[in-house]
Amino acid sequence: MNEVFKYILMIVILLFTLTSIAAWLIWLERRLLALWQDRYGPNRAGPFGLLIVAADTIKLFFKEDWIPPFAEKAIFVIAPAIVAAAVLLSFVVVPFAPGILVSDLNVGLLFFLAMSSLGVYSIVLGGWASNNKYSLLGALRGASQMISYEVFMGLSLMGVVMLSGSFRLTDIVMAQTDLWFVVTQPVGFVLFLTAGIAETHRLPFDIPEAESELVAGFHSEYSGMKFGMFFIGEYLGIILISAMVVTIFFGGWLGPVLPPLVWFVLKTFVFIVLFILLRASLPRPRYDQLMEYGWKFILPVALLNLLVTGAFALM
C-alpha cells in the first residue's frame, strides 16, 4: 500500500510541477526574446510582467470554446489532449535524481521514443478534423516531419546504448560517472538535439505552424482551452527534450557539491534557454529544405556515427 501511495504522490507532484513550469516558460520566453531583440517584453501585468501568465490563463479559460460546424466534433475535441498526454507519459521514465522518478523501466529509452512518437496523432487528427485546408496542410507537414525525424532521433541514441550496454535511463546516467557521453558521442548529441527540435516543431523547424504561409497551421480552428492544450504540450515537449539531452549526454543528475536534483534542474534550464535562443535568432527553412536536410544529411551521418561507434565498441 505504501508503494502505491508513493507512486501516486510522485505522479501528482510531477504533473503539478511540469504544468506549472510549462506555464511559466511562456513568461520566460517572452522576457528573453525581448532581451535578445532589444524590446521591453511583458512589463505591465505585475512586477516584471510576472502576472502575464495568470492573465493568459484567465483569457484562455473564458474565451469562447468554439467548435466549427464543419469539423469532425469528437476527434476535434480529443486531438489536443493527445499531445499533452503523450509528453506527460514520456516523463514517467525520466530520472530526475537517485530515487526520484516514477518508473525505472529496463526499456526506458524505447518507452520515451514510443511515447514521443504518439504526439504526431494529435497534429494529424487535429488538422484533419478541423476540415480546413490550412489545418490539413499543417497536419501533413507535421506528420512527415515528425515521422522522418523520429528515425534520426532513434539512430542518434544507438551509440549511447552501445557504450552503456542498457536501455535503462538510470544505467545510462551512471555510465557517465567518469565521462559524459557528449564527449564520446558529440555527433549523436548534435543529431539528437536537432531531431528533438524538429519533434517539438519549434523554430527553426516550426513548419507545421508557419504563420506566414498557413495562418496557424494544424491548430488554426482551435480556441480556448483546446488551443491552450496545444500550447502547453509544446512547452512540455521543450522540457522533455531538454531533460532527455541532459540525461543521455550530460550526466543527468551527476555533478559535484550541489544536490543531484539541483544539478539536473540547472542543466535542463540551460537547454530550455537554448530552445528560446534558437527562436530568437534563426530563420525558418522551406519545407522541402527541411526534409532534404533530414534524409540526405542527418540519416547518412547518423548511420556513419553508428558504424564508427560499433567499431570502437568491438575494439
Nearest-angstrom CA–CA distance, 241 and 88: 12
Tell me the pLDDT band of 213, cut-offs 50, 70 and 90.
Answer: low
Tell me the pLDDT band of 214, cut-offs 50, 70 and 90.
Answer: low
H-type alpha helices, the chain: 2-36, 52-62, 73-90, 108-129, 133-164, 169-174, 181-184, 186-199, 211-214, 224-249, 260-281, 287-292, 299-314
Q: Whole-model pTM?
A: 0.91
Structure confidence at residue 215 (pLDDT): 65
Structure confidence at residue 216 (pLDDT): 65
Tell me the pLDDT band of 210, cut-offs 50, 70 and 90.
Answer: low
Nearest-angstrom CA–CA distance, 273 and 201: 16
Structure confidence at residue 274 (pLDDT): 93
Q: Of 145, 149, 157, which is closest to residue 305 (Cα–Cα)?
A: 157
Specify the amino acid at residue 84: A
Q: Of 98, 82, 251, which is closest to residue 176 (Cα–Cα)?
A: 251
Mean pLDDT of 257-263: 92
| pLDDT over 70 (residue 212) | no
Tell me the pLDDT band of 211, cut-offs 50, 70 and 90.
Answer: low
* Alpha-carbon dihedral sign for residues 244, 246, 248, 253: negative
| pLDDT over 80 (residue 128) | yes
| pLDDT over 90 (residue 269) | yes
Structure confidence at residue 133 (pLDDT): 81
Tell me the pLDDT band of 136, cut-offs 50, 70 and 90.
Answer: confident
Nearest-angstrom CA–CA distance, 39 and 29: 13
Select, from the ranges 102-116, 190-204, 262-276, 281-295, the one with the highest average predicted confidence (pLDDT): 262-276
| pLDDT 10s digits, 5-27 | 878 888 888 888 998 898 889 88
On whether the CB atoms of residues 119 and 82 are closer than 8 A, the answer is yes
Structure confidence at residue 144 (pLDDT): 84
| pLDDT over 60 (residue 81) | yes
| pLDDT over 80 (residue 99) | yes
Average pLDDT of the chain, as a whole number: 86
Structure confidence at residue 304 (pLDDT): 94
Q: What grid cell was written down for 216?
A: 496557424
Structure confidence at residue 279 (pLDDT): 85
| pLDDT over 80 (residue 57) | yes
| pLDDT over 60 (residue 56) | yes
Structure confidence at residue 48 (pLDDT): 82
On whether the CB atoms of residues 131 and 67 are closer than 8 A, the answer is no
On whether the CB atoms of residues 86 and 116 are closer than 8 A, the answer is yes
Question: Cα 305 to chain center, whole Å?
Answer: 24
Tell me the pLDDT band of 41, cut-offs 50, 70 and 90.
Answer: confident
Mean pLDDT of 185-209: 85
Question: For the residues of 140-200, what is the DSSP string, one character each?
Answer: HHHHHHHHHHHHHHHHHHHHHHHHHT-S-HHHHHHTTSSS-HHHH-HHHHHHHHHHHHHHT
